[in-house]
Structure 1
């Protein structure tokens, strides 16, 4: 691998262990996708070069192409002495194809993070009497402590506790589907964040937080200070929407329309000039819900259309000096007044090969022109 970069690969059923040196030497490339849509789990792809007569063929394919129900994979990258867990997941598919050299083949292992385990068993119909959504999520996640998953559940600002004599919530589908459904209704996100040590993950269920200390800035067209290879932006002024929810008056039975703006204390505006809403979807089904549920539904629709500026680019990790992390803020400099400023890192893809470590990233924010006079370096 690269100077200053050390890769640790751990594979095993349930409890992974470091692979032998022969397996690590056969590793050709690593790709890890983190972030993106909250319903899309993080994933990985490992490619190995195998000799058709070598012992690794027996090691990987001894089971006749099948895998244990939970074949766990942990990838740890140590950059300049600082370890970082890239992914903690399970293998979902393996594929073998002929290589470029005679007598060689390429084994490709693909998988997703530990959310795949949450979709194995259908627990449809499990009751949760007098439990708000956050309590239901915490109870569901408690079952996965044996995998090192630690729940981080943030209570909703507008909590709606069902009264058992009127309603008893019941689970619908697998654990993962039900958790994501509860997150959608609360305007929250759900994802697993691997680390801080191998074998542990944090299950975050809460609002998409866009505040905090930003990562070192991405610099473009700044001569020696440039640390990105490519970076481009698009501005979509027609995507912005202001939903209109309906709350029914219990006495007159008349639905009252209420426009819902895109507001959130944990997601302050990063752009000084957001686009004017051009779409006003009417959510008439919200009249059947309680006022709290109706407002939450409107906030979800408004938040999904708030990101008008999208940036995509590529950087070399060694030139950047550290790993760019998803779901955090980062500064951008050298692009121009319209696009300089702070952005939310929506997703990051790690690509590791012999002598190369690059990251593809996607940045988003709500408008043009930075809200800060100076972008922190």
Structure 2
């Protein structure tokens, strides 16, 4: 269903982002935002401006790129109809300028990452966390980013490991981002930055990669007037299916026992009815040093990431779709045929805005063929 006009909101500032002046918006010709839910990946953005030779805009951005001030925060939000959506809340990382020739304007390009880029700059090596479980350590690390409107959403690990300070004191190694990701991987979790729900606020999520929730409006393929995608292509890679095997050490005999882990958990329900048999075995030997529950959690996370044998890539026009397709959520696909219809997890979305145009390129994944639902939600 075609929606109303698309309104872009661009906020920029050293710490608190503010709406940019009109002349900045007039110079803006394109916005690209890459939003991803892939573990270990960061969302990014790119702003393109056309500027005259005597414009102050390149000087301002280039000075900031040189460290004055050290952090320039950028927030990109869009309103489709009456629903605002924050696409990214991040910081500028670099700039480039291509001078115009023959009277053509110069092209200024601003690159940036989400706020996790700041977490890469702060090295907390040596910070002690006495008698603190993993969730408390995560909250402590994230507390310093509250001034930027970052709200922590931390799901405690299922295994409460409270170290005895008389025996050992956990110590951080590396940057805040590397440490948070390392703790997440050991717990079978993910760490990601989610912009919004309003400009200037965001969520630092540390917890399981849950493929649950209400699905977004369906993507319709070859359904006459109901078609809302420009293109979509599906791939099925049965060879990608692997069987993770963890190793658990028996506390009394010290014997190491291999345990195969299924690719289905309460947080990762099957989205495909027909799942291929694993073609390879992946041994996760580091689990022998962990407790049984910790080893199982890590194995389940590895099994989930290796189970997505169906992948779809496509593009859509947001005004025709009527909504902004979001990553880290489910979406239905209709009209693609029995094998590929059903629910998918949105792994990544590339938002591309130009004057009069808002398109999205998306990647969807799931763990099998044929829908598990009799009817795909509209």
Q: Secondary structure at the match of 1:315?
A: strand
Q: Distance in 2 between matches of 1:106 and 1:338?
A: 46
Cα distance 1:299–1:166, how it changes in 2: closer, same or farther (>3 A)?
A: farther
Are the equivalent residues in 1 in contact too, given 2:79–2:85 (CA < 8 A)? yes
8 Å Cα contact 2:221/2:335 also seen in 1: yes
CA distance in 2, matches of 1:101, 1:23: 23
Structure-1 residue corresponding to 2:21: 20
Counterpart position of 1:197: 198
Give 2:160's aligned residue. Answer: 159
Structure 2 residue 43 is the aligned partner of structure 1 residue 42: yes
Structure 1 residues 216 and 91, CA, compared in 2 at 3 Å: closer, same or farther? same
Aligned to 2:119: 118
Unaligned ranges ≥5, structure 1: none
Deviation per residue, 1:304-334 (Å, 9 max, x gap): 2011100000000000011011111100000
- How many residues get paired? 376
What does residue 349 of structure 1 align with?
Answer: 350
1:1-377 map, 5 Å: 4-61=5-62, 66-99=67-100, 102-377=103-378
Distance 2:351 2:368 in 1: 27
Alpha-carbon distance change, 56 to 289 in structure 1, aligned in 2, over 3 angstroms: closer
8 Å CA contact retained: 2:263, 2:307: yes
* Distance (Å, rounded) in 2 between the aligned partners of 1:99 and 1:180: 43
User: Which whole-Å CA distance do the structure 2 matches of 1:186 and 1:101 have between them?
Assistant: 58
Out of 90-99 and 330-339, give the one that drifted further.
90-99
Partners of 2:160 and 2:137 in 1: how far apart?
A: 12
Residues 159 and 292 of structure 1 are in contact (CA less than 8 Å); yes or no, is this contact kept in structure 2?
no
Aligned partners of 1:361 and 1:297: how far apart in 2? 28
Q: Deviations over 1:196-230 (max 9, x none)?
A: 11111011111111111111100011011100000
**C-alpha separation between the residues in 1 aligned to 2:175 and 2:65?**
29
**Rounded Cα–Cα distance in structure 2 between residues aligned with 1:153 and 1:309:** 30
Kindly provide the CA deviation profile for residues 56-111 of structure 1, in whole angstroms up to 9, marking residues without a partner as x. Answer: 34444456955421100011111112211111110000000124652521000000
Deviation at 1:272, TM superposition (A): 0.3
Matched residue SS, 2:294: helix
State how far apart, in whole Å, the 2-side matches of 1:215 and 1:100 are.
Answer: 46
| Offset at residue 114 of structure 1 (A) | 0.7
2-structure distance, mates of 1:286, 1:255: 10
Contact 2:232 2:313 in 1 (8 A): yes
Structure 1 pair 190–292 and aligned structure 2 pair: CA distance change class (3 A): same
Question: TM-score, normalised to structure 1's length?
Answer: 0.95
1:159 to 1:307, Cα distance in 2 relative to 1, 3 A = farther
